[in-house]
């Protein structure tokens, strides 16, 4: 078995260790967030199961990769490489599906909310066209002024209503692909046999005098 390049080995160990730490932090954060959301009854259980089904397998495959890199176990590296490769494909599929359904979901949600018009008891400045959604019966609770945001105020970043528009799918996919590439490079070096020079027996070697060798046994 050939010795793996030290720079390649430690690069993979650093990357896979970072993946393990990030996965543990995400799993902990999701657990706390989902537990709080369940208490408020704002999150469906299917969503929690879906997040766990993506986070836990990736953490397990990352641990396999870390173990294989430290102990130079090919089977662990193979399991890690295959798992992270499949994980990147799954993330890519869900990312494409999410982009395909995003416009439809936004439009469907908008139509569902517009079906609630006209407003009658909500304390806000309208849903689609600001105060005009109230028609001619604008309540005193809607204190719309010229400086008011139209149609509504953006939800705070730390609230459950805030919609994060940043797409971190490519970052997740690139992270898995980079780890998989490093894992495959380590496997390639492990599969290459070390070049050992051939040993040829020669009868003439017995007649070669080695200086100082005979003097030690006289």
| 84-116 tens-digit pLDDT | 888 878 877 877 777 777 767 777 777 777 776
Q: What is the mean pLDDT of the chain?
A: 68
Give the per-residue SS3 of the chain. Answer: CCCCCHHHHHHHHHHHHHHHHHHHHHHHHHHHHHHHHHHHCCCCHHHHHHHHHHHHHHHHHHHHHHHHHHHCCHHHHHHHHHHHHHHHHHHHHHHHHHHHHHHHHHHHHHHHHHCCCCCCCCCCCCCCCHHHHHCCCCCCCCCCCCCCCCCCCCCCCCCCCCCCCCCCHHHHHHHHHHHHHHHHHHHHHHHCCCCCCCCCCCHHHHHCCCCCCCHHHC
Return the minimum-mean-pLDDT range out of 96-110, 137-151, 159-173, 196-210.
159-173
Residue-level pLDDT at 164: 42
pLDDT at 59 over 80: yes
- Top pLDDT among 183 and 28 is at 28
- Top pLDDT among 83 and 196 is at 83
pLDDT at 210 over 60: no
Question: Is the pTM here over 0.95, yes or no?
Answer: no
Residue-level pLDDT at 168: 44
- pLDDT tens, residue by residue, 148-167: 454 454 444 443 334 444 44
């Amino acid at each position: 078995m050939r010795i793996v390049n030290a720079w390649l080995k430690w690069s993979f160990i650093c990357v896979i260790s970072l993946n393990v730490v990030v996965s543990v932090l995400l799993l902990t954060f999701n657990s706390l967030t989902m537990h709080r959301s369940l208490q408020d009854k704002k999150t469906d259980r299917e969503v929690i199961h879906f997040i766990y089904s993506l986070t836990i397998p990736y953490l397990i495959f990352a641990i396999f990769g870390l173990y294989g890199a430290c102990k130079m176990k090919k089977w662990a590296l193979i399991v890690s490489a295959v798992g992270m490769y499949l994980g990147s494909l799954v993330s890519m599929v869900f990312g494409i599906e999410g982009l395909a359904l995003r416009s439809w979901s936004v439009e469907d949600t908008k139509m569902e909310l517009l079906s609630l018009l006209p407003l009658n008891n909500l304390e806000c400045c309208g849903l689609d066209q600001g105060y005009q959604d109230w028609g001619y019966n604008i309540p005193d609770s809607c204190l719309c002024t010229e400086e008011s945001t139209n149609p509504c105020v953006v939800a705070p970043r730390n609230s459950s209503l805030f919609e994060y528009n940043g797409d971190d799918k490519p970052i997740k996919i690139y992270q898995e692909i980079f780890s998989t590439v490093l894992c495959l490079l380590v496997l390639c070096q492990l599969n290459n046999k070390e070049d050992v020079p051939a040993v040829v027996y020669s009868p003439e070697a017995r007649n070669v005098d080695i200086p100082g060798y005979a003097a030690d046994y006289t």
